[in-house]
């Protein structure tokens, strides 16, 4: 049996990640030797890089009251505002963009004859692209105030909803509300034309009211704003009430699904799945309505 001779020098311990570096500090979690470059401060002593990384995986990320990831910056709201403004600049420089991307189900002339074009002719993109266009500066009684009001409302309400819902729930709510406004216009008045983010904005109004009631927060301000805008919608000529009401209905319904799904901590995973399913179900419903209406219009034009 070999034994180390008394007084013989012992081999100095080295870092497990850097074998050429001597160290006498151990990771308080895995007990391996670590050098200064591999040390990470812990509540007691130091931990190695791998233990810190593994620990971070098991730390529960903070969530909003409705299950979204906590974020201090409403990046989706700011992105939507930027896209609307860029689209407005583009349509001013090229006015024909409005006719190419506005919401219209079918094109009809003054004699009532239907011409190719519109959603019924396969241009489904109009259901969404119209929500990023607005009345041009010389657009009659609205003009630039159209985009100014919508962007003001998005700036005021958007960040609050985005912080409560999280990014993906908020963008889903916004886009489906915009789509809902276009779909109701298509169902009621397929020959009607419309542009603007108002359907999406009304969807945010409806969602804000539902969530405020769910959280027992004051809702008087949003009720006043909503009632005022509905009065304007039905009294001022030239406004697509279908777009506003459609967005309001979709936004309120989707927000109700977000707000009233069980919120117990152990059900966070299931809640996320149910929220995603609610958005998918709403999309399927809206698409189905468009398909049915398109089929009806095809039968009418074939006569």
Identify which has the larger pLDDT, 59 or 18.
18
Dihedral class, residue 122 (left if φ above 0, else alpha if ψ from -120 to 50, else beta)? left
The pLDDT, as a whole number, for residue 10 is: 61
- Confidence grade of residue 60 (pLDDT, cut at 50, 70, 90): low
- Would the pLDDT of 84 be above 50? yes
For the chain, report the end-to-end CA distance as a whole number of angstroms.
105
**Both structure tokens of 87:** 């689209």
Q: Which of 135, 182, 198, 240 is catalytic?
A: 198
The pLDDT, as a whole number, for residue 143 is: 76
Q: Which of 134, 167, 244, 275 is catalytic?
A: 244
Summarize the confidence of residues 154-183 as an average pLDDT: 95
* Stretch among 174-188, 257-271, 279-293 having the lowest mean pLDDT: 257-271
* Stretch among 26-35, 195-204, 264-273 having the lowest mean pLDDT: 264-273
Summarize the confidence of residues 267-282 as an average pLDDT: 85
What sign has the CA pseudo-torsion 232, 234, 240, 243? positive
| Percent of the chain clearing pLDDT 90 (strictly above) | 49
**Exposed, middle or buried by CB within 10 Å (0-12, 13-18, 19+), for 298?**
exposed
Identify which has the larger pLDDT, 70 or 44.
44
- Give dist(CA 211, CA 216) in Å, integer: 8
The pLDDT, as a whole number, for residue 13 is: 86
- Give dist(CA 106, CA 213) in Å, integer: 40
pLDDT, mean over the chain? 85
- List, in order, residues 6 or more apart from 3 with CB less than 8 Å away: none
* Stretch among 87-96, 100-109, 259-268 having the lowest mean pLDDT: 259-268
Summarize the confidence of residues 231-235 as an average pLDDT: 89
Summarize the confidence of residues 207-218 as an average pLDDT: 89
| 146 flagged as catalytic | no
Q: Are 97 and 90 in contact (CB under 8 A)?
A: yes
- Confidence grade of residue 237 (pLDDT, cut at 50, 70, 90): confident
- Confidence grade of residue 266 (pLDDT, cut at 50, 70, 90): very low
Identify which has the larger pLDDT, 129 or 57.
129
> Does domain 75-302 fall into CATH 1.20.1540.10?
yes
Domain boundaries, the chain: 75-302
| 244 flagged as catalytic | yes
pTM of the model: 0.78
The pLDDT, as a whole number, for residue 281 is: 97
H/E run at residue 47 = strand 46-47
Neighbours of 232 (CB within 10 A): 12
The pLDDT, as a whole number, for residue 1 is: 43
Give pLDDT tens digits for 100-156: 999 999 887 776 677 768 999 999 999 999 999 998 887 655 778 889 999 999 999
The pLDDT, as a whole number, for residue 264 is: 47
């Amino acid at each position: 049996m070999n034994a180390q001779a008394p007084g013989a020098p012992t081999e100095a311990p080295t870092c497990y990640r850097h074998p050429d570096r001597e160290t006498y500090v151990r990771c308080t979690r895995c007990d391996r030797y670590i050098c200064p470059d591999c040390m990470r401060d812990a509540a007691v002593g130091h931990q190695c890089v791998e233990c810190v990384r593994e620990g971070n995986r098991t730390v529960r990320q903070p969530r909003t009251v409705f299950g979204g990831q906590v974020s201090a910056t409403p990046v989706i709201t700011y992105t939507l505002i930027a896209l609307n403004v860029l689209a407005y600049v583009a349509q001013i420089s090229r006015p024909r963009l409005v006719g190419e991307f506005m919401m219209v189900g079918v094109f009809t002339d003054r004699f009532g004859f239907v011409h190719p074009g519109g959603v019924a002719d396969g241009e489904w993109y109009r259901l969404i692209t119209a929500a990023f266009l607005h009345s041009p500066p010389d657009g009659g009684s609205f003009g630039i105030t159209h985009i100014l009001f919508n962007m003001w409302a998005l700036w005021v309400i958007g960040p609050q909803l985005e912080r409560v819902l999280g990014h993906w729930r908020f963008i889903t709510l916004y886009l489906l509300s915009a789509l809902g406004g276009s779909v109701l216009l298509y169902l009621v008045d397929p020959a009607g034309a419309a542009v603007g983010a108002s359907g999406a904005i009304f969807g945010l109004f409806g969602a804000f009211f539902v969530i405020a009631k769910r959280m027992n927060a004051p809702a008087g301000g949003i009720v006043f704003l909503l009632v005022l805008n509905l009065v304007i919608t039905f009294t001022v000529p030239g406004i697509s009430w279908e777009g506003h009401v459609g967005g309001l209905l979709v936004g309120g319904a989707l927000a109700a699904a977000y707000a009233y799904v069980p919120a117990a901590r152990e059900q966070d995973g299931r809640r996320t799945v149910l929220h995603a399913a609610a958005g998918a179900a709403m999309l399927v419903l809206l698409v189905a309505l468009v398909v049915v209406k398109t089929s009806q219009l095809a039968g009418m034009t074939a006569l």
